[in-house]
A and B are shown apart, each in its own frame.
Chain A
Amino acid sequence: MSTPAPRPTLASRRQMLGAGGGLLLATFWPTPRHGRAQGASVPAGMAPEQGLLVENAQGAFAPNAYIRIAPDNSITLILPNVEMGQGIYTSSVMLIAEELGIDMAQVAIEAAPPGGGAEITGGSTSVMTEWLPLRQAGAAARSMLVQAAVTRWQVPVAECTTRSAAIIHVPTKRSLPFGAVAAQAATLPVPQKPTLKDPATYTLLGRPQHRIDSAVKVQGRAIFGMDLQVPGQKIGTVAACPVVGGTLAGMNKAAALAIRGVQAVLVNTANTTVCVVADHYWAARKGLRALKPQWHDGPNAHVTTQTIYDQLHDGLNGPAIVANTKGDAPAVIAHAAATHTATYQQPLLAHATMEPINCTAHVRPDGCDIWTGTQIADRARDTAVELTGLPKDKVNVHCQYIGGGFGRRLEHEYVTQCVEFARQVPHPLKIIWSREEDLTHDRYRPAYVDQMTAALDSKGFITALTHRIVGPAVVARWDPPELTKDGYDEDLSVATVITPYTYPAYRLEFARREAPGIVTAWWRGVGGTRGLFVVEGFIDELAHRAGADPVAYRRAMLARNPRALAVLDKAAQAAGWNTPLPPGRARGVAVQFAFGSYMASIAEVEMPEPDNVIIHRVTAVVDCGRVLNPDQVISQIEGGLIFGFSAALYNEITLEGGRVQQSNFNTWRVMRMNEAPCKIDVLLMPSTEDPGGIGEVGTAAAAPVLANAMAAAQGRRYRTLPLLSPRNGADHKEQG
């Protein structure tokens, strides 16, 4: 072997985390999937008894977050949640610093190694799941440090306070840095229910704090997976069969190897993917072009976009799972004097993270190191364990800054791929996907068809509602135990069953249709993003049908939901809903409860032509419970809206001959600055409720609020995404 191992494999997690001589306090983070599956304001994982604290990282308990206080007073927070732009490092530090009594700037962050079985960053759950345990961890550490200090000083606990990582004896003004008593504190029992600060005394939480990752990111010093430079590494780039299920038929290996800098041509065991290894990416890319792999397309060669849509529309008839029911909605509808039905269609979507997929792996006979951006480090490790046969403790996953997650990095197939090729070479291998590979071999947000039928009273309000969702169940592949015994994926309930509205009678059905020739996966908002477009579009249709103002119509339906009503009223006021618009402009509204947070949004648009949408202004009012870092909530809503507008207006993955047709940003349009809203106003409601999620809230609102504004501008409904799809013209005849 020509290159040194990156670092020795260590014997235990405690050693790996380096407690020696200081205090290492571990806390267990409940799995965030509970937050998504429940989609409720208080996820099951937040029960206080799950926020346990242990003194030592060893043992079956498997904690997964740590505070390390070293004798030199350096404080490190070791976190399982990864930073992919959502600001989680900053809010995590705030939570711990508030209770521990330290300054934000005194904390360093490390990514936790896999281990606890819960290193999943997704579902807008980070703040929801860490809100209690991290404060408890900070409070417990503080209590132990204070106890150690008062033992040394022989003074009462009540006379001591903590500030800037020091214990202060108030009467004598003596102080001890945390590091000076950390070793002694580590010998004390861990309080299991430490006293938490009164929120009225918070000095950090609820006040705007700058992101702790800004400086490294604006100076270009942040290390993303793409930036890893492991000594001795070579660069590989890959081509997988363009049709899922196809295999390699032939290639010109000699031509690839003739390219200057190319070192090797590799093929995976399944014979589905080739990898050209070279001294640098450009040589690998040229080598891959020269390689000219040919493919047997296999059983999915016939799949087209229409195949998928036809299958979804077919699911509107015939058997379905009843996922949720109240009263006898079909009977009410059958006898109703007036009903309204609409069918909505949404496309496959790619993630297109700015950082193309990449992974670096070094597989040795005695160990394996993996460097990558992942939202799911456990699976990244386990796939390497499975492939290499190495024990778990010989496989290290080094989590890097993520250049955009959006659910893409909840998949780990690129880690599997990298390890499989890295096994074949005696050096570290960094695999970089071209943008073309990234877009054509994404794991896509599913396409869906939804149909809703409402029975209406004489004023046009809903007396019963049926809703059928046709599409894949993402959890069936991603986490099969989460599929209910009936075969339902509860993620589909977000913004569908879970809405600010209540209906006298309701029935939700799910007809599962897995898309052929394509792998479907999570995408920012998934269920909530799908559901809100349909439900808020339909409510808007009903308001229009009733001849009612869309805000007034919703207000009447929200009489028993004060938080939803409050955000709607404030949004209407802030956006000037009842004030006249400049000529040519129109407004649309959407109201939501998803990911534990309420939001009302209003968009103001102008459409000089039917395919030209100018978004002049968006107003969003958010009630996400207690706000930890106000400006970062605003930032997530701004960005989430723009991410969602981009998809809503432009994006649709299409297939021809089983091949994805969009391959780079020239065919996969991403909203640019000149197309983004001129103005986004985000207002936050004060609240003392527990925090809700925020990362997916803006994205979920984007399509419905824009579609409703465009409907007002054009006098017709938009029931198909993307909104600029010609199919929306065909929808016109369904009106009325």
Chain B
Amino acid sequence: MLSLNINGQSHQVDVDPDTPLLWVLRDVLGMNATKFGCGIAQCGACTVHMDGRAVRACNLPVGLIGEQRISTLEGLPPTDPVTKAVQDAWVALDVVQCGYCQPGQIMAAIALLRAVPHPTDEQIDSAMSANLCRCGTYVRIRAAIHHAAGALA
């Protein structure tokens, strides 16, 4: 039995320690905001926060997490200023198309804005290029991050 701190709550899960966090979230705990896209940390659809850093849940074995705090999109408090600014910007600029990658994009954007409150285009590209979007919403994601940064100023 492993103990995981997810969204501020302790969860006991009975899985092999090599099980990636993604499948514990989705199939064991029923938390579906974190998406499966590739399984090899190439697409970023499974981006979550571990101690505030954006990490890929699909190749993060739960046995290595220990005490580190995991946050997922459904667990972020909607009143958190950065979360709210990012989600509001995404809606204001109508970023989403199919929307499947967007939870990962939003988690990556929140982590970026917490570390760099006013990122340049280059800093955005650098932080966000690990997150694929097949619908091609990149231009709007970039704009939405600037928009959110402006709202937080």
Contact = CB atoms under 8 A, between A and B. Distances in A.
Interface of A: 84-87, 210-211, 213-215, 217-224, 226-227, 229, 235, 260-261, 279-283, 285-286, 352-356, 401-406, 432, 434-435, 631-632, 635-636, 638-643, 646, 664-666, 670-680
B90 to A, nearest CB: 4
Given A280-B15, A435-B38, A673-B138, A218 B102 contact: yes
A635 B37 contact: no
28 contacts: A85-B135, A210-B92, A214-B91, A214-B96, A217-B102, A218-B95, A218-B106, A229-B30, A229-B32, A280-B23, A281-B27, A282-B15, A282-B16, A354-B43, A354-B98, A354-B100, A401-B99, A435-B38, A632-B94, A635-B97, A639-B135, A640-B136, A665-B40, A672-B129, A673-B128, A673-B133, A673-B142, A678-B121
Contacts of B45: 354
B42 A86 contact: no
A213 B99 contact: yes
Contacts of B73: 219-220
A388 to B, nearest CB: 26
B67 interface: no
B125 interface: yes
A403 B99 contact: yes
Q: Identify the 6 closest CB pairs spanning chains A and B, nearest first.
A: A220-B33, A642-B136, A403-B100, A85-B98, A85-B97, A217-B99
A279 B28 CA distance: 8
A338 B126 CA distance: 51
A235 B38 contact: no
Given A220-B32, A404-B100, 8 more contacts: A87-B97, A219-B73, A222-B99, A404-B98, A635-B140, A664-B38, A673-B133, A675-B129
B38 A674 contact: no
A665 B45 CA distance: 12
Nearest to B61: A282
A377 B5 CA distance: 41
A154 B65 CA distance: 72
Given A210-B94, A281-B36, A435-B37, A674 B125 contact: yes
Interface string B80-109: 000000010011101111111111001000
Contacts of A285: 39
A219, A353, A406, A671: residue with the most chain B Cβ atoms closer than 10 Å: A219
Interface in B5-45: 15-16, 19-20, 23-24, 26-28, 30, 32-40, 42-43, 45
A354 B15 contact: no
B134 A280 contact: no
A215 B90 CA distance: 9
A402 B126 CA distance: 28
Contacts of B24: 280
A211 B94 contact: yes
A353 to B, nearest CB: 6
B141 interface: yes
Interface residues of B, number: 60
Contacts of B129: 672-675
B97 A665 contact: no
Contacts of A283: 19
Nearest to A279: B27
B94 A227 contact: no
A664 B42 contact: yes
Contacts of A229: 30, 32
B134 A353 contact: yes
B4 interface: no
Given A218-B87, A281-B27, A638 B136 contact: yes
Contacts of A642: 136, 138-139
A677 B142 CA distance: 11
B32 A214 contact: no
Contacts of B101: 354, 403
A281 B23 contact: yes
A673 B140 CA distance: 10
Nearest to A645: B136
A568 to B, nearest CB: 23
Contacts of B42: 664-666
B136 A676 contact: yes
Contacts of A636: 97
Nearest to B19: A282
A666 B130 CA distance: 12
Contacts of B126: 674
A640 B138 CA distance: 12
A640 B95 CA distance: 14
A355 B91 CA distance: 21
Contacts of B128: 673
Nearest to A667: B42
Given A211-B94, A435-B39, A221 B33 contact: yes
Contacts of B20: 282
B40 to A, nearest CB: 6
A638 B100 contact: no
Interface string B49-80: 00000000000000000000000111000100
Contacts of B94: 210-211, 214, 631-632, 635
Contacts of A222: 99
Contacts of B136: 638-643, 646, 671, 676
A617 to B, nearest CB: 11
B89 to A, nearest CB: 9
A630 B45 CA distance: 29
A229 B33 CA distance: 13
A283 B15 CA distance: 9
Nearest to A406: B134
A214 B144 CA distance: 13
A641 B87 CA distance: 25
Nearest to A671: B136
